[in-house]
Amino acid sequence: MGDVALKIPTGEQNIFLNTVISLFMLFLATFVGYLFKNAGLSDATIIMAYILGVLLTAVFTNHQAYSIVISVMSVLAFNFLFIEPTFSLKAQANEYPVTFLVMLIVAFITSSLASQLKIQSKLSAEAESIAQKEKLRADLLRAISHDLRTPLTSISGNASNLLTNEKHFDENERQQLYKDIYDDSLWLIDIVENLLSITKIENGKMDINISPQLVEEIIDEAMSFLNRNKGEHNISVKYSEDMILANADPRLIIQVVTNIVGNAVKYTPNNTDITIYAEKRSDEVCISVADMGNGIPDENKERIFEMFFSENKNAADSKRSLGLGLALCRTIIEAHGGKIWVEDNIPKGSVFKFTLPVGEVNCNE
């Protein structure tokens, strides 16, 4: 038989936790009150301990009702435990009813102010989050309008030439124009895919379905796309052992591999090697992509994973990266519980590495 777990709804958990916190604050205030009394301090000082307990209740619970209830209970506890006759709700001195009323009002105002401060803090955080999202959208629109103009202009111009002057071009010239249109369109498709993924992440709509996956199958699927766009590069894949399993969402990790290898193809010289290597460590799988390009300066090794940062702003093909691919890769890998970084390739180039948790197949029925 399988294990039976008792699941408490989230709402009930919150009520239980808030109740425990409130009662603990009341107990703590009472304990401090006894310390004050034994030290010979006045009733006013003990009252301050209870008011502090109400304030802390308002701070650490998520509804004002708890601090209001603790306000009333604090008045009753002070009367019952510290006012003669003790262990009774009677008060002999005429001024004590006024003291209780003032104590209740002060405790209530204190709890109200604390609750209002929490609400204002939450609203400020939400406003800051909205402002950051609006800034992200504005930056994204500026980057798109600026950086997509070149390939779109190239596609439009080449298509226009083919439509109006095709008969003036020889076969080699026509093939070059076709290739330029094809390459620019693939680059645009790649950017659109990254933009869609970034939008899903921003809106919290990216579904991640993690399960044990064969790393070889993930890389093979990525290579089926990359082989069409590898140009003159020599891309090879190596594994430390057969049947390496990783806990991953394959469609997202395929996107990570194609982004990293695509950058290596785009920004390294033709006829150079790009090596993909996967190895299993104790509790993780490490996948690396090594190229033989110009490398990345140490000061940019962290920044290249930031959105809108581009290391190669003057690429040979006149296209400038939006700086979304590696930022998206980091988001995906961190969502899997892994990490991603870049190192120097010896003697030349860079090695991008990322890790995933080791996958295990459960054979129990």
In a domain, 22, yes or no: yes
Domain boundary residue, one of 202, 236, 267: 202
Final residue before a domain boundary, out of 121, 139, 169: 121
> Residue 362 and residue 364: Cα distance in Å, rounded?
6
Considering the domain architecture, whether residues 260 and 322 belong to the same structural domain is answered as yes
Cis before 269 (ω within 30) = no
Using an 8 Å Cβ cutoff, are 114 and 75 in contact?
no
Residue 185 sits in the same domain as residue 216? no
C-alpha closest to that of 254 among 204, 190, 186: 190
| CATH classification of the domain holding 260 | 3.30.565.10
> Are both 191 and 263 inside the same structural domain?
no
41 within domain boundaries: yes
Are the beta carbons of 223 and 235 closer than 8 angstroms?
yes
Q: How confident is the model at residue 315 (pLDDT cuts 50, 70, 90)?
A: very low
Instruction: Look up residue 117 and give its two tokens.
Output: 């401060």
Beta bridge partners of 289: 276, 352
- Asked if residue 158 lies in contact with residue 181, where contact means CB atoms within 8 angstroms, the answer is yes
Beta strand 284-290 pairing with 211-214: unpaired
Query: Are 197 and 96 found together in one domain?
Result: no
Q: Tell me how many domains the chain contains.
A: 3
| Higher pLDDT pick, 97 / 352 | 352
The tokens of 186 are what?
């693939």
Count of C-beta atoms within a 10 Å radius of residue 356? 27
**pLDDT reported for residue 285:** 96
Residue 4, domain member (yes or no): no
Q: Is position 127 within any domain?
A: no
- pLDDT (0 to 100) of residue 30: 93
Position 230 pLDDT exceeds 70:
no
Dig out the tokens for 202 from the structure. 């921003």
SS3 per-residue string spanning the chain = CCCCCCCCCHHHHHHHHHHHHHHHHHHHHHHHHHHHHHCCCCHHHHHHHHHHHHHHHHHHCCCHHHHHHHHHHHHHHHHHHHCCCCCCCCCCCCCHHHHHHHHHHHHHHHHHHHHHHHHHHHHHHHHHHHHHHHHHHHHHHHHHHHHCHHHHHHHHHHHHHHHHHHHHCCHHHHHHHHHHHHHHHHHHHHHHHHHHHHHHHHCCCCCCCCEEEEHHHHHHHHHHHHCCCCCCCEEEEEECCCCCEEEECHHHHHHHHHHHHHHHHHHCCCCCEEEEEEEECCCEEEEEEECCCCCCCHHHCCHHHCCCCCCCCCCCCCCCCCCCHHHHHHHHHHHCCCCEEEEECCCCCEEEEEEEEECCCCCCC
**Are 187 and 324 members of one domain?**
no
Same domain (yes/no): 84, 175:
no
Do 348 and 290 belong together in one domain?
yes
- How large is the average pLDDT for residues 266-292? 92
Both 189 and 113 in a single domain?
Answer: no
* Contact (Cβ atoms closer than 8 angstroms) between residue 285 and residue 215: yes
361 in Cβ contact with 292 (< 8 Å): no
Inside any domain, residue 71: yes
Q: Tell me, yes or no, whether 216 and 99 share the same domain.
A: no
Per-residue pLDDT at 163 exceeds 50: yes
Q: Has residue 135 been placed in a domain?
A: no
Domain extent, residue 279, equals 211-357
Q: What confidence score (pLDDT) does residue 365 get?
A: 43
20 and 110 assigned to the same domain: yes
Answer yes or no: is pLDDT of 229 > 80. no
Residue 197 lies in a domain: yes
> Which segment, 125-139, 188-202, 232-246, 351-365, is predicted with the most confidence on average?
232-246
Q: Is 284 exposed, middle or buried (0-12, 13-18, 19+ CB in 10 A)?
A: middle
Residue range 222-237: mean pLDDT, rounded: 79
Mean pLDDT of all residues in 222-250: 84
Q: Which of 16-25, 95-104, 129-138, 285-294 has the highest mean pLDDT?
A: 285-294
Q: Is residue 137 part of a domain?
A: no
Whole-angstrom Cα distance, residue 62 to residue 59? Answer: 8
**Domain match, 184 and 220 both:** no
pLDDT classification of 252: cutoffs 50, 70, 90: confident
Q: 48-67 pLDDT, tens per residue?
A: 888 888 888 877 887 778 87
The contacts of residue 85 (CB under 8 Å, 6+ apart) are 92
Is residue 13 predicted with pLDDT exceeding 80? no
| Mean pLDDT on 307-331 | 61
Q: Record the tokens describing residue 247, joined without a space.
A: 């806990």
Do 219 and 342 belong to one domain? yes
Peptide linkage before 212 cis (omega within 30 of 0): no
Reported confidence tier of residue 9, pLDDT bands at 50, 70, 90: low
Q: What is the mean pLDDT of residues 14-28?
A: 90
Predicted pLDDT at 304: 87
**Angle, in degrees to the nearest 10, between helices 64-82 and 96-147:** 160
Q: Are 26 and 73 in contact (CB under 8 A)?
A: yes
- Report strand pairing: 234-239 vs 273-280: parallel
Name the token pair of 149: 């103009």
pLDDT class of 144 with cuts at 50, 70, 90 = low
CB atoms inside a 10 Å sphere around CB 232: 9
Q: Residue 4 has what pLDDT?
A: 39
* Mean predicted lDDT score pLDDT of the chain: 80
